Amino acid sequence: MDITRTLPEECIANIISGTSPRDACRLSLVSRAFESAATSNLVWERFLPPDYQEIISSSSSSSSSLNLLTKKNLYFHLCDNPILIGNGNNMSFQIDKLSGKKCLMLAARELTIIWGSGETPHYWEWISSTQAPVLPKSRFSEVAHLRIVWWLDIKGRIETKILSPKTKYGAYFIYSMVDRFYGFNVPVKVSIRLENEVEGGDATNAYLNPSEELLQINQQDGRLPIKREDMWMEIEIGEFFNGSQVDDHGAVEMCLKEVQVLNGKSGLVVHGIELRPKEES
């Protein structure tokens, strides 16, 4: 009773599309019939975000050759190659490989950085990312370089409806440190809240440049950074659950600041804030 002999390929593809991207790739190994069904556009179209066509066509940075890819190849391409979207190309879009859900990143230019408007470059200076060889490669045209502030206040805001519904998201502050990096032995405070909800927004400590001693202690009172594959640093700001599209939660606001100790800080380079699905623990 080999079902692949009697079921049409479309039916097998329908079944496979109800599993997951990882399962679909595993299922390719079962038999030739499964491989054909598991690689079909029917399956991968279901794994892509429902509005992927719209997103790609509205992006100025995506080439038309994306339309020539099979849906499976497109899926994996979008996992590893973020495309720029939004006004001024200050956001990027890619796909989370395991779930097929959207990952969005806000460029530094899309954030609200107090004293970072550009009119006061002796506080925050905007650098074209192509002219900064010491920094990791940036997908955006500019990054923000902190020369000196005492009042550190960075906020990001994103409408929840452009993210994938029914998904737990983590927000991560993406940054680097350049020469004469100081003032961050004091932890910054990070917080996240959904604008339409009354609760939330509790601040957590985050150590952007933890000392050796701090790294040794098992129980820290705050978040620690990790180095990403793309060589930028990242530290978690917080997480939230993006409900179904029907209940519009408005926007989510993310905040990173140090406005209590008010010591002088310098050397931080802000790449942006990334939002990506967090696995259910």
Partner 1 sequence: MSSSSSPMQSTGRKLKLKSKDDETFEVEEAVAVKSQIFKYMVEDGVSNGPIPLPNVNGKTLARVLQWCQKHADPTITEDELNKYDAGFIDVDQAVLYDLLMAANYLNIEELLKLACMRVADMIKGKSPDEIRRTFNIKNDFTPEEEEEVRKENAWALGP
Cβ–Cβ under 8 Å, residues 269 and 175: yes
47: exposed, middle or buried (Cβ count in 10 Å: 0-12, 13-18, 19+): buried
| Nearer to partner 1 among residue 17 and residue 160 (C-beta) | 17
By CB under 8 A, the count of residues binding partner 1 is 31
| Nearer to partner 1 among residue 98 and residue 215 (C-beta) | 98
* Binding flag, residue 18, partner 1 (CB under 8 A): yes
DSSP state of 214: H
Which of 11, 226, 259, 262 is close enough to bind partner 1 by CB under 8 A?
11
Cβ–Cβ under 8 Å, residues 140 and 92: yes
End-to-end CA separation in angstroms for the chain = 39
Residue 27 Cβ vs partner 1, minimum distance, rounded to whole Å: 7
Rounded Cα distance between 235 and 224, Å, is: 6
* Binding flag, residue 35, partner 1 (CB under 8 A): yes
* Binding flag, residue 14, partner 1 (CB under 8 A): yes
Which of 71, 77, 97, 257 is close enough to bind partner 1 by CB under 8 A?
97
Of 32-40, 101-109, 149-157, 273-281, the window that binds partner 1 (rule: CB under 8 A) is: 32-40
Residue 39 Cβ vs partner 1, minimum distance, rounded to whole Å: 9
Residue 229 Rama label (left phi>0; alpha psi -120 to 50; beta): alpha
Of 6-14, 62-70, 216-224, 257-265, the window that binds partner 1 (rule: CB under 8 A) is: 6-14
* Binding flag, residue 16, partner 1 (CB under 8 A): yes
Q: Residue 194: name the closest of 242, 146, 140 by CA.
A: 242
Q: What sign does the dihedral 261-181-268-254 (CA atoms) show?
A: negative
Tokens standing for 27? 């299922």
Which position has the token pair 């790609």?
A: 56
* Binding flag, residue 22, partner 1 (CB under 8 A): yes
Tokens standing for 228? 């990403």
| Exposure on the CB side of residue 7, measured as CA atoms within 13 A | 15
| Nearer to partner 1 among residue 27 and residue 254 (C-beta) | 27
Q: What sign does the dihedral 49-50-55-61 (CA atoms) show?
A: positive
| Nearer to partner 1 among residue 31 and residue 263 (C-beta) | 31
| Nearer to partner 1 among residue 44 and residue 124 (C-beta) | 44
| Nearer to partner 1 among residue 87 and residue 244 (C-beta) | 244
Of 25-33, 193-201, 215-223, 235-243, the window that binds partner 1 (rule: CB under 8 A) is: 25-33
Which of 9, 15, 182, 228 is close enough to bind partner 1 by CB under 8 A?
15
Rule CB under 8 A: which residues touch partner 1?
Answer: 1-4, 6-8, 11, 14-35, 97
